[in-house]
Amino acid sequence: MSPLLWLLVPGAPLIAALLVWRQPRQAGSWLWLSCLPALLFSLWPPQALAISTLWPGAEWALDDQLGRAWLGFTALLWACSTRFAVGDLRDDNHRQRFWIFWLLSLAGNLQLVIAQDAGSFYVGFTLMSLSAYGLVVHLRGPAPRQAGRLYLQLAVLGEMLLYAGIMLRIHEADGALDLNAWQNAPTSTLTATLLLVGFGLKAGFWPLHVWLPLAHPAAPAAASAVLSGAMLKAGILGLWRFLPTEDPLLQGWAPVLLAIGAFSAFYGVLLGLLQTRTKTVLAYSSVSQMGYLLAILALAWQQPEYRTAAATLLAIYGVHHGLAKGALFMGAGLSAHNRLGPVHWLLMAVPALALAGLPLTSGAAVKALLKDGVDASAVADWMPLLTAGSLGTTLLVLRALWLMRASQQQNESLPPAPAGQMLPWALLCLMPITLPWLWPPLRGAMLDSLPLYAIWASLWPVLAATALAALILKIGWQIPPTLTRLPNPALIASLRLKRLLQRPPLPPTEPHVDSDRWRRYERQWNRLWQPGTVALSAWIIGVLLMLGWLW
């Protein structure tokens, strides 16, 4: 296939954006088609495209499994969410604005996946990151505004750190812009820190997650789905692509990063359990899941020989979590606005339990691979943590499901869900159980997790968590109210920063001149010359003559 077809990947959403501008009313239902090129190319990628007319070094291609998987799930999730969003936006005055930000964000997200050079990646990343602000603040009100503010502040900070990181990285790689060339260029502490923080702010693992639990719930459901499902992953992909494979520095950092990942996984669960809103719970679940992804990266850096396996795991984990989380966020949106029947709840349970790692789902496959990875690594004795994590995740998704249920019960008179929203949602919901049969790498992993001991290993934490949840429900234990309203220092800091920037305490620079006083001096000076022209001139001549005589 012609390499020029790659232009369609970011191009299709941009063309769609033009369409939205001209025909805001009719275009909506068809916008999901703009993800189609990306989806197709993830299956049948064209040849690499080097575009000399774009920014320097621009090259778009997909030559690894990770990239293809990433493009595939990103496109699929965006397509489903786009279709899903149509329903939510039917009566929205700001429909056009939403779509434009949406499509720009989509174009950026797709482009960064196919980017083979730093410039293209950065272009896509920034486009996605900044346009997503429009999605976060789309629903009006103080909460989205505050969440958006924090999101934007950190996104811009991340952009700048990333910019510095990329510059340093290009310098380290002797001017090479090709991401493949970067894999072998050693990095320095500063560069690695900048990139880790820059991408970390997007990926949202602890402690860079502060914006995430605020922004994701604030956005419309479809936007939350892509924010959590697709955009967070861009940060992980960036770290994977930008930092070298074998580097003593990263090897040394790996234990710390692993610890951060692990902490993030439990932190997300703990905080998530305390939340009272479905989407916040899901957002914290994302924090927790991003911890796992960071851990995988750290494992790969620690043991370069594990890298191939880690790439596969990362691909599968990305697909699994992206689609499942997307489905859950959409489900949360549905449950808040529409009446759900038993079939719906059954569908909803699929991604939820897949996240928990139920056997026969993509979740179990992912967990099995991750265990293999940890098992083979230097931190094999951390294994119990994985089990505990699985338990925690189960509790978290159960809490989410329970909250959805509760919101249904509070509101009796909800309309049934429209088909335009049901179909894409159902498609996503079914992915965790259908994809393992369709996609060979995932199929292999799932089949590996099918031995009885493995099934038991992944099943018992789920069961235990379910039992625990049932117990808590039974005794009617409530979360203490103080814990549900923990103060958020990040929000306060964000507000302070905004105020500081609005009225920066800079000293005024206008110099003060006392013109009256100077005028007085001038008058006195002028008075000196009062005696008259002739007399003064005569005096001057006389004095000069005297002086001349002496000379």
Partner 1 sequence: MTLALASLLIPLATALLLLFLRSRAGAWVIIASLLSLIVAGLALAEVVAHGTQTLAIGGWDTPLGIRFELNLLSALLLTFTALVHLLVAVYAERSRHSQTRDTDYWPLSCLLHGSLAALWLSRDLFNWYVTLELLGLVAVAMIIISGPKAYGPALRYLLLSLAASLCYLLGVALLYGRYGVLDIDLLATMIDANHTTRLALLLMTLGLMLKAALWPLHLWLPAAHASAPTAVSALLSALVVKGPLFILWMLWSRMAPVEVAQPAGLLFALAGIVALLAGGWAALRTPFLKTLVAYSTVAQLGYALLALGLLLRWQQTELSAALWLFVLAHGLAKVSMFLAAGEMQATLGSKRVSSLKGATQTMPIAMFAFAVAGGSLIGLPPSGGFVAKWVLLQPLLADPVHWPWALGVLLGTLASAAYVFRVVALAFDRADPNPPNYNPDAFAQWLALLPALVVWGMALYSEPLILWLTEVNR
Partner 2 sequence: MITSWSSLLPLLIVLSSLVPGLLIFTLREDQNRLRVLLNMTGVLLKLALVGLMLWGVDRGLEFRFAVPFLPGGGLVLQGDALSLQFVSLSSVLWLATTIYAIGYLEDSPLRSRFFGYFSLCVSATVGVALAGNLVTFLLFYELLTLTTFPLVVHRGTPQALRAGRVYLTYTLGGGALLLMGVALLHSLTGSPDFVTGGYLQPMLEAHSTSLIVAFALMIAGLGVKAALLPLHGWLPQAMIAPAPVSALLHAVAVVKAGAFGIVRVVYDVYGVEPVQALGLNVPLLALTAATIIYGSLKALQQQELKKRLAYSTISQVSYITMGVALMGPIAGVGALAHLVHQGLMKVTLFYCAGIFAETLGVHRIREMDGIGRRMPLTMAAFTLCALGMIGVPPTAGFISKWYLGLGALEAGWDIALLVLVISGLLNAAYFLPLIYRGWFARPPAEWPEERSLGTGRPGLGETHWMLLVPVLFTALLALLAGILAGTGFSPLSWSELIINREFNL
Using the rule CB under 8 A, is 495 a contact of partner 1?
A: no
Burial of residue 538 (number of CB atoms within 10 Å: 0-12, 13-18, 19+): exposed
Q: State the nearest-atom distance from the C-beta of 498 to partner 2, in Å.
A: 8
Instruction: CB nearer to partner 1: give 380 or 544.
Output: 544
Which DSSP string corresponds to 382-435? Answer: GHHHHHHHHHHHHHHHHHHHHHHHHHHHH---PPBPPHHHHHHHHHHHHHHHHH
Applying CB under 8 A, does 519 fall inside the site for partner 2?
A: no
Our finding on whether 64 is near partner 1 (CB under 8 A) is no
Q: Which stretch binds partner 2 (CB under 8 A): 168-176, 237-245, 299-307, 423-431?
A: 168-176
Separation CA 462–CA 375 (nearest Å):
21
Binding track, positions 96-115, relative to partner 2; x by CB under 8 A: -x------------------
Ranges of beta strands (E only) in 25-113 are: 49-50, 59-60
Q: Which does 54 bind (CB under 5 to 8 A by kind): partner 2, partner 1, none?
A: partner 2
Considering CB distances under 5 to 8 angstroms, the limit depending on partner class, which of partner 1, partner 2, none binds residue 56?
partner 2
Could you list the beta-strand ranges (E) of 122-270. Answer: none
- Shortest Å distance, C-beta 524 to partner 1: 14
Nearer to partner 2 (CB atom), residue 32 or residue 125: 125
Query: Which residue's CB is nearer to partner 1, number 2 or number 530?
Result: 530
CA distance 285 to 269: 6
User: 257 near 294, Cβ under 8 Å?
Assistant: yes
Q: How far is 175 from 284, CA to CA, in rounded Å?
A: 39
Residue 515 as a binder of partner 2 (CB under 8 A): the answer is: no
CA 127, chain centre distance (Å): 12
**53 contacts which partner out of partner 2, partner 1, none, CB within 5 to 8 A by kind?**
partner 2
Site for partner 2 contains 504 (CB under 8 A): yes
Q: Give the nearer residue to partner 2 in terms of CB position, either 191 or 377.
A: 191
CB-nearer residue toward partner 2: 33 or 197: 197
CA distance 254 to 95: 45
N- to C-terminal Cα separation, the chain: 101
Among 281, 457, 282, smallest CA distance to 364 is for 457
Binding mask 117-156 for partner 2 (x = CB under 8 A): --x--xx--xx--x---x--x--------------x---x
Give the chain's radius of gyration (CA, Å): 30
Token pair belonging to 73 = 């799930």
Given the rule CB under 8 A, which residues bind partner 2? Answer: 51-56, 58, 97, 119, 122-123, 126-127, 130, 134, 137, 152, 156-157, 159-161, 163-164, 167-168, 170-171, 175, 501-504, 506, 509
Given the rule CB under 8 A, which residues bind partner 1? Answer: 522, 529, 532-534, 536-538, 540-541, 544-545, 548-549, 551
